[in-house]
Amino acid sequence: MGNWGMKTLAAALFFTLVLGGMAMAKEATKIGIIVVDIQGDFTKLKNGSLAVDGTDEAYIKAVEENTKKLKETGYPIFATQDWHPANHASFFTNHKGKKAFDVIKLHGKSQVLWPPHCVQKTPGAEILLDKKLFTAVVKKGMDSKYDSYSGFQDDGGKKTALDKLLKKEKIDKLVVYGIATDYCVRATALDAVAAGYKVIMIKNLSRGVAPDTSQKAIDEMKAKGIAVLDDLDLEKIKGN
């Protein structure tokens, strides 16, 4: 083979390696979506027992439209769903003499006592979005002894199916939003980072229980390397 032929072969090999490497890099990042607890009992729309401010019809519509956009883009979408038994330890009604929002010690941790909410097989536990949007729905909070803010595990450390489902889909970047910013969104996003995922949280597709605790949660998420976007931006999601 002549000198020119060698140069041509070397150039072809170079471009093959470069383009192959680019393709592998592109395949290496797969994005998944976690929609947190969009359930009747957490919304003003349904006069929920634990309704969060700003969870009216317009909010639910915005979440559904943006989730559809992500689905159409081809991203696998997972929902988390509080699914409590009626005797759940986080309900103030299961503690004699206590009232809603009292704080007690439970298993050595501070536990807010909530109004009964998202009780299994009740309307308040239903997810308000089109179920066809979801690759899977991950139920949480089923152990009566432990609260479960995170989609990944309860307060006792028992894992849900979420991490296995994400790994099955080979996902390594997550977009997280829903209810509530300062509780279940925060806990899910932080556990996702701890499990090795790159995480983006969408602020305006989430609603918090209180402005101060929501801001504290956002600051905490940022400090852990979570990117917080005001609105859903497909280009920024790909680039972050």
Half-sphere exposure of 61 (CA within 13 A, CB side): 4
DSSP code, position 238: H
Are the CB atoms for 208 and 181 separated by under 8 Å? yes
Which tokens sit at 46? 């349904």
Question: Which one-letter amino acid corresponds to residue 190?
Answer: L
Tokens 């920024």 -> residue: 236
Catalytic residues: 37, 140, 184
Which tokens sit at 187? 């806990």
> Is the previous residue joined to 180 through a cis bond, with omega within 30 degrees of 0?
yes
d(CA 149, CA 165): 18
